[in-house]
Amino acid sequence: MNAQYDAEGNLRHLLTLQGMSAPMLQELLARAEQFAPARSEPLPEYRLLAGATVVNLMCEPSTRTRASFELAARRLGATVLEFDVSNSSQSKGETLLDTVLTLEAMRCDIFVIRTGDTGALAKVAEQVDPRVAIVNAGEGNVSHPTQGLLDLMTIRRHHPDVSALTVTIVGDIRHSRVARSAVDALQVLGVGELRLCGPHAMLPVPDQFAGCQRFTDIDEAVSGAHVVMGLRIQRERMRSDEMPEADEYFRDYGLTDARLAHAAPNVIVMHPGPVNRGLEMAPELVEDPRSTVREQVANGVAVRMAVLERVWKTLRLDRGAVHV
């Protein structure tokens, strides 16, 4: 995606992980590792976004992504505007682009945007001022790049050699931006084997997720896996007649201790959250020592610090590109 990079190939916006170079992805992950111990108050050496104004503009609900972007920006010394979409002039018909252009006129620099509208972020990125960066905080069912980065950071902490891994993603893959960005990131880093598992109606359509094996039998899919990632069922992206019966779904696709017995001995169990306990995962598995659910949340702050720092650096590098 060309709008993502400036003329020198620096990360100008973060729209997708698809097609990102391995060195750029590695650089973001390495920087996130450095930020991981950051305290809640900005340290003098971490005031790297001093002078920047970051807007959190979430057109769909969020707990983790919204809160961690806000904390990441504050820990880097930025001014943060938590934009209340539901009480904004979008309810009077103003578009996302016009909302961004309005706030851009108030000298906001970095827009962290979540939207259900596929393709909207690339259009906004093409039309904003050169002094402005757009960061994808979740776009429809197509991408959630900072989730993909935090998932990779978590996986590598437990299994540093990604090329040796079998990773199984279970659940509502068809509607999941999390699965797409995780697969994009894992493929950039040369993952050993990628397996997608779910009922037919939740598996991706045939021309998507190239390079992944597909399973409808969860025991086959989990067998020997080093990473098992559950996904939230995306009710908001389904028709009511597409929703599975909860009991049947948990019986056939819920992650349980018994199912993990078939996985590799050092398996980790991931979920992006929010978890529907007893539907996607057995309730007690969320706190199991093999679960990384809370660790993923913690890593999200560090990853978002790395991304905000990177796009702000690019704006500063491009001569005259920062609001003064």
Binding site for ligand CP (CB under 6 A): 62-65, 138, 147, 272-274
CB 36, min distance to ligand CP, A: 18
Q: Among all chains, which residue has been given the structure tokens 């005259």?
A: 320
Q: Measured between alpha carbons, how far is residue 132 from residues 2, 37, 106, 128 in Å?
A: 16, 28, 12, 6
The residue among 136 and 147 lying less far from ligand CP, judged by its C-beta, is 147
Contact 216, 195 (CB under 8 A): no
Whole-number Å distance between alpha carbons of 191 and 185: 9
CA–CA separation, 286 and 268 (whole Å): 11
Nearer to ligand CP, 140 or 272 (CB): 272
User: Residue 187 Cβ, how far from ligand CP at the closest point, in Å?
Assistant: 20
Q: How far is the CB of 320 from ligand CP (least distance, A)?
A: 34
What single string gives the DSSP state of each residue in 1-57? Answer: -GGGB-TTS-B--B--STT--HHHHHHHHHHHHHHTT--SSPPGGG-TTTT-EEEEE
Provide the minimum distance between the beta carbon of 17 and ligand CP in the complex, in angstroms, as a whole number: 15
Please report how close the Cβ of residue 221 comes to ligand CP at its closest, in angstroms: 22
Q: Which is nearer to ligand CP, 46 or 138 (CB)?
A: 138
Nearer to ligand CP, 9 or 61 (CB): 61
CB of 162 or CB of 275, closer to ligand CP = 275
Q: Closest distance between ligand CP and the C-beta of residue 151, in Å?
A: 9
- Could you tell me the smallest distance in angstroms from the CB atom of residue 64 to ligand CP? 4
Provide the token pair at 107.
């000298």
What kind and span of H or E run contains 221?
helix 218-222
The residue among 62 and 90 lying less far from ligand CP, judged by its C-beta, is 62
**Look-up of token digits 């993603």:** 169
Q: Would you state the structure tokens that stand for residue 242, as one six-digit string?
A: 């597409």
Burial class (CB in 10 A: 0-12, 13-18, 19+), 181: buried
Kindly tell me the sign of the dihedral angle through the C-alpha atoms of 319, 320, 323, 324. Answer: positive
Closer CB to ligand CP, 64 or 157, in the complex: 64
